[in-house]
Structure 1
Amino acid sequence: MTSANERTIASVTHLSSFAQYIFPLGNFIAPIIIWSAKKNDSEFVDFNGKQILNFQLSIFTYSLILVAISLPLLIYGFVDLLGTNMSFSNFDIDFDGFQNQKITALIGIAIVSFVFLIFLKIFEFILIINAAVKASNGENYKYPLTIPFFK
């Protein structure tokens, strides 16, 4: 059975990852500070600290992958688009059929990647709230789709 203090600290550890909206890397720094200060005092706090850090590192990894996919494609697509014959006076764009499809596909993949990134951040927000509630109830919570960096 976990004490009320342990549940509160574990819950605050999860919620501290929202510090990312206040200062850069706050989603790592704030949980690390709380976890490292209290991990030896409680197995429950230690477990929850590892979970939030694993989750934040996983979200960061997934975000980097999505940005690495979308950003170069978007840049290449727009550079390729600007290199074609365009008439801005009457908004007629003269493309080769294949060239038009290639640019559309590249920009489409980039947009889909950005949409996935937005959904990933929404997913992150919801799961953090859920984990904080579970921790405040004294339950161990494992985030889905998390790479176990800390065991």
Structure 2
Amino acid sequence: MDEQSLNKVPSQEVRQWAMFCHLAALAGMVIPFGNLLGPLILWQMKRENSPFIDEQGKEALNFQITVVLAFVVCFFLAFIVIGVFLAGLVGIGALVLLIIASIKANEGKSYRYPFCLRLIK
């Protein structure tokens, strides 16, 4: 993106869809792998509408992929007990970061998750 489009605040509708891309991960509380499917579906539907939605949708999806991988590691570490505690920390951390990202996206600010593997470019 050029510098002029970076300084421009996205419209309210664009900001809401970017926020929904992050919040769609909460579908994982209801549907197995919903934390991956929610952001993926919204990003695929709305990425053509705005570069901001495209960027935040990719960021949300990359973070949820990272969270799933972290839970897989925790599953294997559960056999030596520490994985149970780590899974709790990963869950709480993911929820807090998801809320922060949603708020930033709704403000029109680009958010990048820390500790995130960026597999989708």
Percent identity, aligned pairs only, is: 29
* Greater RCO structure (CA 8 Å; 6+ sep): 1
Equivalence map 1:68-147=2 (5 Å): 68-71=76-79, 110-147=80-117
Gaps of 5+ in 2: 1-7
| CA distance in 2 between partners of 1:120 and 1:29 (Å) | 19
Amino acid at match of 1:62: A
**Residue aligned with 2:81, SS:** helix
For structure 1, the 5+ residue unaligned runs are 72-109
SS at match of 1:145: coil
Contact residue 74 and residue 84 of structure 2 kept, 8 A: yes
RMSD: 0.9
User: Counterpart of 2:95 in structure 1: which amino acid?
Assistant: F
In the other structure, the counterpart of 2:54 is 46
Name the aligned partner's letter for residue 23 of structure 1: I
1:13 aligns with 2:21: yes
Q: Note the alpha carbon deviations across 1:115-144, whole angstroms, 9 max, x for none.
A: 011010000000000000000000000011
Larger radius of gyration: 1
TM score, norm. by length of structure 1: 0.72
* 2:65 counterpart of 1:57: yes
How many matched pairs?
Answer: 113
Q: Letter of the 2:105 partner, please give it.
A: A
Question: CA–CA distance in 2 between the matches of 1:140 and 1:12?
Answer: 14
For 1:6, the aligned partner's letter is V
Whole-angstrom distance in 2 between the partners of 1:29 and 1:112: 28
The alpha carbon displacement at 1:112 in A equals: 2.0
